[in-house]
Amino acid sequence: MRFTSTAAILALASSVFAQTPGFDVISKPTKDEVIPAGSTYLIDWEPSSNWTGTVTIDLLGGPDQAGLQLLSAIAKSVDSAAGEYSWVVDKTIGKLKTYGIRISLDSDPTIFQYSFPFAIQSNSSSSSSSSDSTAAPTSTSTAATSPPPAPRPRPSPRRRRALPRPARPAPPLHWLD
């Protein structure tokens, strides 16, 4: 009896913290990609047909993938159907070892998706005396208030087309009654 209740609690906990299957699957950044600080980077995802509306794109950071924590919002109220967002990566970030992106549905933040972990190469020519905990939130809060750029046209292979409905069977023929 005790095993059953423990298993149920673990199943519930894992479902609460799990990503939402099929929701805005992030294709860029890729695993272990290095993004230069101070650059403009295109975050790319596959829009979901099951969940529509606006999303918030958050920057996560930490010592490793298991230690990622929310640093700040990169952008808010981005149309999920756009499938991409042009992120101006602040030149003062990149001091943490691992970064990640989280996209969450604005109307229901429990619907979300994580990116693969990636790195941000800090700009060696700029020196900053601020610590890791203050550098990232300050740098990305400006991006969160600016309007998102217009989406680029999507290539046709990425668009999903409705499948034709199967034909209805013909009524039986009565040859000679």
Q: pLDDT tens-digit profile of 73-107?
A: 999 999 999 999 999 999 989 899 999 999 999 99
d(CA 7, CA 9): 5
d(CA 112, CA 25): 9
* Beta carbons within 10 angstroms of residue 12's beta carbon: 9
Give the per-residue pLDDT at 70.
Answer: 95
Give the per-residue pLDDT at 29.
Answer: 95
Output phi, psi for 50, to 5 deg: -85, -30
Largest Cα–Cα separation, the chain: 96
| Range 18-140 has CATH code 1.10.287.130 | no
Give the per-residue pLDDT at 168.
Answer: 58
pTM value is: 0.61
Tokens found for residue 163: 């499948």
| Percent of the chain's residues with pLDDT above 90 | 50
